[in-house]
Structures are given as C-alpha cells and as structure tokens.
Homo-oligomer: A and B are copies of this chain.
Amino acid sequence: MRIDAIAARLRAEIGADRVLSDRQQLRTYECDGLAHYKVIPALVVLAGSEEDVVATVRACAEAHVPFVARGSGTGLSGGALPHADGVLIVTSQLRTIVELRPEDERAVVQPGVINLQVTKAATPFGHYYAPDPSSQQICSIGGNVAENSGGAHCLKYGFTTNHVTGLRVVAPDGDLVELGGLAPDTPGYDLLGAFVGSEGTLGIATEVTVKLTRLPETVRTLLAAFASTDQAGAATSAIIAAGVVPAAIEMMDALSIEAAESAVHCNYPAGAGAVLIVELDGPSAEVEAQFTEVTALCEQAGAFEIRVAADDAERQLIWRGRKSAFAAVGRISPDYIVQDGVIPRTALPEVLRRINEVADEHGVRVANVFHAGDGNLHPLVLFDDGVPGEAERAETVSGAIIDLCIEHGGSITGEHGVGVDKARYMPRMFSDTDLETMHLVRCAFDPENLANPGKIFPTPRLCGERPGRHRGALDHEGAEVF
C-alpha cells in the first residue's frame, strides 16, 4: 500500500494528471528500446518541472520505494526498464532549452530536450551539438547523459561525457546538487564524469549544460566499396595510422548492405563485401588535403569503387543507407539482437572473421553495421522467434561476441550502456575489487539502493553497516590482484 500512499501524496503535491496508476496506461512504459525485457511499473509520474522530480524522489526516499528515470525510452540496454514495485519518473515533458550561449559555446537544457533540437537551436548561431546517436531525432539529452551515448561522429568529437560541463541533479534522497558548471573544469572531485553514464543509479539530472561545437567550414563524404570486411578494416587502420582523424568512419558488411538496399534503395555499389563511409570535416584547406590522402589509402587497401558526394543531397543519400540499416534488418529477419561492443581498431579484421565463424557454427546470420573508426561494433544477430531454439542460439552467439571483445582487449559496451542487459557481463571485465569500488560510490549516494536498482551491477549488493568497503571481502579479493 506504500505505492497508493505515494500516489495520493503526489496527486496532491504535483497534480493528479501527472500521476498514472491505471494498468493500461502503465503498460505503455513496460520497456525501453530493448523490448525483450518487460516490467510494468507500479506508478508512473510525468514530471512537468524540476520540483516535480524532487517531490517524487523525496516521496520515494521517505517510503523506501525504488524509482527509475526514463527519457524518450530509446535506450538499447534496458537502462530505463521499470521496477515492478517502483515509480517510473518520465522526464520527456521537461523539454525547455533554458539558455543558449553561443558566445560561450554552451547550452543549458532540460533532460527531456531531444538531442537534435539542441543542434537545431544552435545552428543559426553557427554551432551544433556534436554527439549524434542514430536515434538523435527522438532520444533525449537526459537519456544520453544516463547512458553516455555515442554516435557516428564520436570518433572525432568524443562521447556525451566529453560534451557535458554541468548538471543539476536530484540525488536519491531528493536533494538538489550542482555538478560542474559553465567552466571546462571545476575544483574538487569531478563527480560530473562519474554521473554521466551512471544510468540513473546516482540520481536524476534535471538540467544539463552542454558544449556547443562550431559548425565546420567544410564537410566531405565518400563511400568506398571493398570485396571484404578484411580490406575495409585494413583501410580503416591505414587512415588512422596516417594521422587523419575523420569525423566518422562507418562500416557495413554484405548482409547489412542487402538489408539497407531492400529498405531504402540506397544504391550502394553492387557486389560489395563491405562499404566504408568516411566523412571529413574542418577548415577547407585541411579537408581537401586529407580527402586526397583518404581516397588514396582506400584504393591501396583494395577499394574497387569510390564515390564522392558532390553536394548535400548526395551526402544524405550515402548516409541514408547507414542510418536506415538497423530498421532495415527487420525486412530480412523477423527478429534480431543489436549487440554493442568495442575492440582495438587493429583487431577489426580478426574479430569480424571470428564473429562469422561463431555465427556459422550456430547456424545464425550476423549483419555488421558499425563505427569502424572507434572499433565500436554493432553486430545484429538475426533470428526468428517463431522457430524453436533460434532465439537461444542467437543469444549464445551474441554472448560469444562479447567474449571476443573482451579477449581482444575491448569492452562489453561502446555506447549503449550496461543497463539490465549487460550487468551479467560485468564480472567478465572487472575484478570483484573493481566492482566493489564502483559499488561503494553507489552506496555513498544511494545507501538503500532505491535509484534504478538492478542495473549495471551483476548481483544485488547491499551497502555495509558502516561507510566504505567491506574490508573482509576485499582483503580476500585483494590477493587475486597481485
């Protein structure tokens, strides 16, 4: 009955229309972009202001009820999966651009502001917001902060964490805290970095100060077609080794090209085993010089066709295939898992070969569309849920891909976050001591484990009786480290 009491209190405090408890309405929020986990929340609050978030978190804290924040719900790791006995706090109505300061290269926005809206607002002043997830037309800045989202152009410009300089945060006890600000760095602990990517487990952001990036003088885009992903991978390594940092280097393999063709008729070169999209931006003089170099390096790596976008329309056409690829895979397979992992660039050819081998062994198809420049893979593991056993085989292959990433010195997630989906992989990457160290920060902020419980950490952990580490457990683990 605690939930009923919270509902009654919040209806009085922030308005009845902001508090949903009807089962049918609650079902709308049962999952985020990772649709194979579904949980119906006990209550949904549609926050209309920072005060609403504070009131809701305070009510939860006082009643010892868990809460989960949700922006647009486009996340792919289940970071916004609701808690069955908890409150889901939806921030998508907090979509005011509070302040635009192009002269300081900063914007202050509410968490529900859509990623692309920041760019649209800044463009008249010659600026844009650099991190560009594929979902940028619908994903929110708050969600980007929670998951430390990336995008195609993060190769040159960095992830969300590199573009957030300040946050107002409602801590798990309902207090409002300021982290960072307009300046590039602030004294004391840099908790801003720890908060970005903490997936709602340290509190809820209610105001985000982001960097605005100056629009480049020139953008040039080419599409290079290769016989194999080996060749395309070699071209990627050669470009980076030459000291060129393109704004983006994206790779698609034969299966993903096939899917994109059937969906948007992007008309990529026929017979390509892989294509690279390389985009360069910056001062014209620099871009022209580098463009010549990149073209030569693609040819040396074996590109059999190179197309250069002559204008913005042609540029859009090249990107259209890439941007549609995830959705397009739905045309060639009823179901698929989007995997997200990172490897060193130099390991690309080897890991792509191994992925194909593992897929073949299990009789599963894998399409690869990814940020090659970053070594950030996005294998799409295809299956048909209607065929018994296929989903399980796809899961096995998907997990094996993560193992390949770790084996090659990479990471279990590049930009989608850990969420509920990858918590189980965390012990493959971190020692117990490492995880315990993260957890003690979580306990410092949220000793009762109310803020988005069940995410990031592999097993439920209790916070100790006293602040700090469980010395006994750690002394034991410490031995493994040496």
Max chain B Cβ within 10 angstroms of own Cβ: one of A175, A411, A438: A175
Contact B290 A478 (CB under 8 A): no
A437-472, CB < 8 A from B: 437-438, 440-447, 456, 463-469, 471
Instruction: Report how far A409 CA is from B289 CA in the complex, Å.
Output: 41
**Contact indicator B468/A466 (Cβ below 8 Å):** no
Flag if A177 contacts B456 (CB, 8 Å).
Answer: no
Q: Is A187's CB under 8 angstroms from B478's CB?
A: no
Q: Is the CB of A344 within 8 A of B188?
A: no
Nearest chain B CB to A47 CB, angstrom units? 16
Pair B192/A410 contact, Cβ less than 8 Å: no
Q: Provide the bound-state CA to CA distance between A272 and B444, in Å.
A: 54
Contact B286 A187, beta carbon cutoff 8 Å = no
Contacts of A324 in B (CB 8 A): none
Query: Chain A 139-157 against B: per-residue CB contact (8 Å), 1 yes, 0 no?
Result: 0000000001000000000
A187–B422 touching, CB < 8 Å: yes
Interface-lining segment among A194-202, A297-305, A325-333: A194-202
A474 within 8 A of B: yes
Give the contacts of A272-304 with B (CB-CB under 8 A): 282-283, 285-286, 288-290
A190 within 8 A of B: yes
Query: Is the C-beta of A312 less than 8 angstroms from some C-beta in chain B?
Result: no
- A323 is an interface residue with CB less than 8 A from chain B: no
Known contacts A193-B193, A444-B444, A474-B173: A183-B342 contact under CB 8 Å? yes
Contacts of A197 in B (CB 8 A): 185, 187-190
A441 and B417 CA atoms in complex are apart in Å by 23
Known contacts: A282-B286, A344-B182, A467-B447. The answer to whether A474 contacts B175 by CB under 8 A is yes
Task: Give A387-435 interface residues, CB cut-off 8 Å to B.
Answer: 409-414, 417-418, 422, 426, 429-431, 433-435
B194 and A191 within 8 A (CB): yes
The answer to whether A176 and B433 have CB atoms under 8 Å apart is: yes
Bound-state CA distance A43–B413 (Å) is 45
Is A122's CB within 8 Å of the partner chain B? Answer: no
- A448 to B, closest residue via Cβ: B468
Is A186 among interface residues, defined by CB-CB distance under 8 A?
Answer: yes
- Could you say which residues of chain B place their CB within 8 Å of the CB of A176? 433, 478, 481-482
On whether the beta carbons of A468 and B467 are closer than 8 Å, the reply is: yes
A305 vs chain B, min Cβ distance (A): 28
Q: Which single residue of chain B is at the shortest CB-CB distance from A442?
A: B189
- Most chain-B Cβ atoms within 10 A of its Cβ — which of A185, A196, A447? A185
Which of these, B174, B346, B411, B465, contacts A478 with CB under 8 Å?
A: B174
Kindly list chain B residues whose C-beta atoms are within 8 Å of the C-beta of A468: 173, 443-447, 463, 467
Tell me if A440 and B430 are in contact (CB < 8 A): no
A residues 154-176 touching B (CB-CB < 8 Å): 158-159, 161, 171, 173-176
The interface residues of chain B lying within 8 Å CB-to-CB of A418 are 187-188
Q: Residue on B with the closest CB to A414?
A: B185
Determine if A103 is an interface residue (Cβ-Cβ < 8 Å): yes
Bound: A6/B79 CA distance, A: 47
Inside 8 A of A475's CB, which chain B residues have their CB?
175
In the docked arrangement, what's the CA distance between A173 and B466, Å? 14
Tell whether, in the assembled complex, residue A183 and residue B437 are in contact, meaning their CB atoms are under 8 Å apart: no
Contact indicator B456/A444 (Cβ below 8 Å): no
Contact residues, A342-386 vs B (CB, 8 A): 342, 344, 346, 374
Q: Which of B177, B285, B438, B469 makes the CB contact (< 8 A) with A191?
A: B438
Query: With A441-B441, A466-B447 in contact, is A187–B104 under 8 Å at CB?
Result: no
Tell yes or no: A243 within 8 A of B by CB: yes
The listed residue (B344, B434, B441) touching A178 by CB distance below 8 A is B434
Q: How far is the CA of A441 from the CA of B434 in the complex (A)?
A: 15
Complex: A280 Cα to B90 Cα, angstroms: 47
Q: How far is the CB of A126 from chain B (nearest CB, A)?
A: 8
* A238 smallest CB distance to B (angstroms): 12
A189 to B447, CA, bound (A): 16
7 closest A-B pairs by CB: A193-B193, A447-B468, A285-B285, A444-B444, A286-B286, A440-B444, A467-B467
Q: Which residues of A contact B (CB under 8 A)?
A: 51, 54, 103-104, 126, 148, 158-159, 161, 171, 173-179, 182-194, 196-198, 202, 214, 241, 243, 282-283, 285-286, 288-290, 342, 344, 346, 374, 409-414, 417-418, 422, 426, 429-431, 433-435, 437-438, 440-447, 456, 463-469, 471, 474-475, 477-478, 481-482
